[in-house]
Structure 1
């Protein structure tokens, strides 16, 4: 049986999700996966907020990192991040739902480049 890229991504994601205690503990939801792409969601709860009453940047970063992980492992080959950075444009607040969308931009052997966006307002 030959799997489509989307089917292979879904199976790889399921195998990763089950033991991914960190993403589950933080309250993330795996919304969608495809080859080189993944979408995760998180509703900002009180325990995600910092002393300024906004979502802690580390929570947003963790959500982006998890989306990246599911995107880059979508071909069922174990991969990890080598380098990343983040730019915070606007804060999220308690009750907001953050949606992290990771998209592969380039892949060359074991190295790839991915963009992950986590807008603070709902994505159409």
Structure 2
């Protein structure tokens, strides 16, 4: 295992340990490296909207979490500045969803990410494009 992967996992674990929303939604960090991350969760009853499908905001939160882990894996504080989502197909209760975030372009402190959310059959559920701004300072907390 390279030091970069080990460090990215340490940073991700530190972030995830403090992320109450991700824990409440049952998210798991499946893979992380500087500039990429995979986050998954299973759609639960309490995530359904009034039409009986996974709420769009829940899908956005999953994608945003993947982008957060991808952008902060280098242990330099980075926040989202903008993002847009295209909902492709509904996600149903019990489906395991996976969000994969990857860097598309870096320009100074600004980075553009594409995030693809798929279901367990491999069908695309949502596409997200987001931008982050690196602020500096460490993500991990000492002591």
TM range (shorter): over 0.9
Which residue of structure 1 aligns with residue 41 of structure 2? 42
What do residues 43-65 of structure 1 show as CA deviations (whole Å, max 9, x unaligned)?
00110111111000000000000
The alignment of Structure 1 onto Structure 2 pairs a total of residues equal to 122
Alpha-carbon shift at residue 7 of structure 1 (Å): 1.5
Alpha-carbon shift at residue 121 of structure 1 (Å): 4.5
CA distance in 2, matches of 1:35, 1:107: 12
Which residue of structure 2 aligns with residue 64 of structure 1? 63
Structure 2 residue ranges without an equivalent (≥5): 124-143
CA distance in 2, matches of 1:42, 1:120: 10
CA distance in 2, matches of 1:76, 1:107: 17
The answer to whether the Cα contact below 8 Å between 1:91 and 1:120 also exists between their aligned partners in 2 is: no
Alpha-carbon shift at residue 91 of structure 1 (Å): 0.3
Alpha-carbon shift at residue 109 of structure 1 (Å): 2.3
> If the length of structure 1 is used for normalisation, what is the TM-score?
0.93
Which residue of structure 2 aligns with residue 113 of structure 1? 112
Alpha-carbon shift at residue 122 of structure 1 (Å): 2.8
What do residues 34-81 of structure 1 show as CA deviations (whole Å, max 9, x unaligned)?
111000111001101111110000000000000000000011000001
Alpha-carbon shift at residue 95 of structure 1 (Å): 0.7
Which residue of structure 2 aligns with residue 8 of structure 1? 7
CA distance in 2, matches of 1:98, 1:111: 28
CA distance in 1, matches of 2:81, 2:25: 23
Superposition map of 1:96-111 within 5 A: 96-111=95-110
